Amino acid sequence: MTEFNIEPCKSISGELRVPGDKSISHRLAMLCGLARGESVIRNYLMSEDCLNTLHAVEQLGAGVTVSQDDIRIVGVGGSYVEPADVLDMGNSGTGMRLMAGLLAGQSFDSCMTGDKSLCSRPMNRIRDPLKLMGADINLREGGCAPMDIKGKSLSGIEYKLPVASAQVKSCVLLAGMNAEGVTSVIEPRPTRDHTEKLMSAMGMDVKIDGARISIDGGDVELVGGDWDVPGDFSSAAFWIADAACMNGAELTIKGVGLNPRRTALLDVLKRMGAEISVECRVMNDDCWEDIGDVVVRGKKLVGTEVGGDEIPNLIDELPLVAVVGALAEGETVIRDAAELRVKESDRIATVAAGLKAFGVSLEENPDGMIVKGGAVISGGMEINSHGDHRIAMAMSILGLFADSPVTVCDVACIDTSYPGFMDDMGKVVF
C-alpha cells in the first residue's frame, strides 16, 4: 500500500501489543551471530530494517532459522566469516553504524550500502573514532555510504562522543570487542544503553563509571542465550500519545520495553497533564531490559518545554511530541534537538511541513521548533511522509484529530520499523 486514508476518529480504547523493539532486535542479531552456541530470540522485530540486519549476519557466517514462534541463530563463535557480497543495510542507520564497528576489526574486507536515505546520512561520525582505533574505512563524498571497510587490527581508545548518539557509542564499543586493550566511551548525555546491557547479559565485563563505559578487548567471549524482545516503546508511543490527547480515551499497551533511557516521552506527557500509569512492571535485575504495561487515560493537555538531557531519551518520539503539542493548549517548545536533522529525513523540516499542512502555526528553529497548539486541525489534503516511517506514522496520528479525512502518502516506509501499524490502528481507534 502506498497511501493511507485517515478518517477523523471518535475514541481510542482497548488493549494492544506492539511488535518487538527495533534497537534491541538489531543488537541481538549482531551479537548472537557473533557468539558461541545457539540463541533463541522470541518477538524479534520482523521489519525490513531488522530483517536486513539478520540477512547481513547470515552473510557473515551465522546460521539463521526463522519460524513462526522464534528466530534461532547459531553464532560463529568469535569471528565472522568473509561475506561473498555487499551487505545491504536498507534504510537503517543503526544497522550500518553498529555493523561497521563489528566489521572494522575482522580479518577480511567488506562493503556496506543502503537506500537513498541511508546513503545520504553522516557516517563520518563513526569513521572518525574507528580510524583512531586503527580502522581503514572509505566513504563516498560528504562522508556517506557506500562504505568500504578493510579489516585491520584495532587498538582500544578513550573516546569522548562529540554528539549524544547511542549508535556511535555502540559502534565504538562493538569495535572495542575486537581491539587490543581497553576501549572507553564518554557520553555527553546519557543515551539508550541496550548494547552495554546485552554485552553484560552475554557474559562480558562492561564497566560503567558515570558517563564512561569501558570494555576490555582481551576479555571477550559472548555466549548465546534465550531472549524475549520487549515491545518497542517507540512503536507503543504512537498509541500512548494518541490516547493521552483524546478526552475519554482508555488504552493499555501490554509488554512494552520500559528502559528508562527510552521512556522520556512518558515524563513529557505527564508534564502536559496526561494520566499515565505503568502496571506489572518487571524490573531489570540481571542486565536485561525492564518491561511492563502502560495504561493511558485521555485528557486535554497543555504545552511544555523539552530539551537537554531528555532529548536522547525521546529522540525518535520528538515528531510525536510536536503532534501532541499541536493538540495541546498553549506552546510546546522543542530545543537541543539538532540531531533530528540527520535522521531518516530532516525531521525538523518534515515535521514542520506536515504540521503546517494541517494548519498548525509553528516557528522552526535550527535545533527544534515552537508549536502553537490548540487550534483546529484542518484535514482534507494529502500529507507527504518524505519516505520517513516515523513521519508517516506521526502524521497519521495527527490526521485522526483533523476536521476531515486526510491522505498520508508514501507510507510503505512504515514497514522498516512497524509492520502492522495500520492493522493496530484498526484494533484500538474507532
Q: Which segment (40-48, 81-89, 166-174, 207-215) binds ligand S3P by CB under 6 A?
A: 166-174
**Among residues 16, 23, 323, 332, the one that binds ligand S3P under rule CB under 6 A:** 23
> CA 130, 134, 139: angle at the middle one, nearest 5?
50
Residue 233 CA to residue 53 CA, distance in Å, equals 20
Copy the grid coordinates of residue 329: 493548549
Q: Alpha-carbon distance 204 to 261, whole Å? A: 21
Q: Which stretch binds ligand S3P (CB under 6 A): 12-20, 56-64, 160-168, 219-227?
A: 160-168
For residues 178 and 417, which CB has a smaller minimum distance to ligand S3P in the complex?
417
Query: How much of the chain is helix, strand and coil, in % rounded to 5?
Result: 35, 30, 35
Should residue 315 be labelled a site residue for ligand S3P when binding is judged by CB under 6 A?
A: yes
Question: What is the C-alpha R_g of the chain?
Answer: 21
- Nearer to ligand S3P by Cβ, of 91 and 252: the residue is 91
- Given the residues 242, 316, 388, 415, the one annotated as active site: 316
128 contacts ligand S3P (rule: CB under 6 A): no
User: Does residue number 21 form part of the binding site for ligand S3P (CB under 6 A)?
Assistant: no
With cell 563509571, the residue in question is 209
316 scored as a contact of ligand S3P (CB under 6 A) = yes
- Please say which residue, 302 or 349, places its beta carbon nearer to ligand S3P: 349
Residue 232 found at the interface with ligand S3P (CB under 6 A): no
Distance CA 293, CA 207 (A): 30
Q: Is 152 in the site for ligand S3P (CB under 6 A)?
A: no
Q: Give every strand in the sheet of 275-282, ordered side by side.
A: 13-17, 250-257, 291-297, 275-282
User: Scanning residues 179 to 208, which ones bind ligand S3P (CB under 6 A)?
Assistant: 192
3-state secondary structure of 311: helix
Q: What is the largest CA-CA distance in the chain?
A: 61
List Cβ neighbours of 49 (8 Å cut-off, separation of 6 or more).
Answer: 22, 26, 90, 91, 92, 94, 95, 416, 417
Of 323-362, binders to ligand S3P (CB under 6 A) are 339
Q: Is 165 in the site for ligand S3P (CB under 6 A)?
A: yes
Q: Which positions from 257 to 276 touch ligand S3P by CB under 6 A, shown as an x/- string?
A: --------------------
Closest to ligand S3P by CB, 59 or 313: 313
Ranges of beta strands (E only) in 104-261 are: 110-113, 136-140, 144-150, 154-155, 158-160, 179-180, 182-186, 206-209, 212-216, 226-228, 250-257
Query: What does the alpha-carbon distance between residue 59 and residue 75 come to, in Å, rounded to a whole number?
Result: 12
Our measurement of the distance from residue 230's CA atom to the centroid of its chain's CA atoms, rounded to an integer in Å, reads: 13
Residue 423 C-beta: closest distance to ligand S3P, Å = 22
Among 96, 100, 166, 172, binds ligand S3P (CB under 6 A): 166
Cβ-based nearer residue to ligand S3P, 197 or 299: 197
Amino acid 367 reads D
CA torsion sign for 387, 390, 394, 399 is positive
| Residue 193 or 331 having the CB closest to ligand S3P | 193
| Cβ 303 to ligand S3P shortest distance, Å | 24
Cβ pair 45, 232 in contact under 8 A: yes
Contacts with ligand S3P in 91-110 (CB under 6 A)?
Answer: 94
Task: List the x/- string, 73-92, binding to ligand S3P by CB under 6 A.
Answer: --------------------
Nearer to ligand S3P by C-beta: 99 or 428? 99
Q: How many chain residues interact with ligand S3P (CB under 6 A)?
A: 10
Secondary element (H or E) of residue 357: helix 347-357
CA 9-10-13 angle, to 5 degrees, is 100
For ligand S3P, which residue of 167, 184, 235, 313 counts as binding (CB under 6 A)?
167
Q: Which stretch binds ligand S3P (CB under 6 A): 70-78, 139-147, 162-170, 349-357?
A: 162-170
| Cβ-closest position to ligand S3P | 23
- Does 136 qualify as catalytic in the annotation? no
Rounded Cα distance, 315 and 336, in Å: 10
Active site residues: 316
Binding positions for ligand S3P, rule: CB under 6 A: 23, 94, 165-167, 170, 192, 315-316, 339
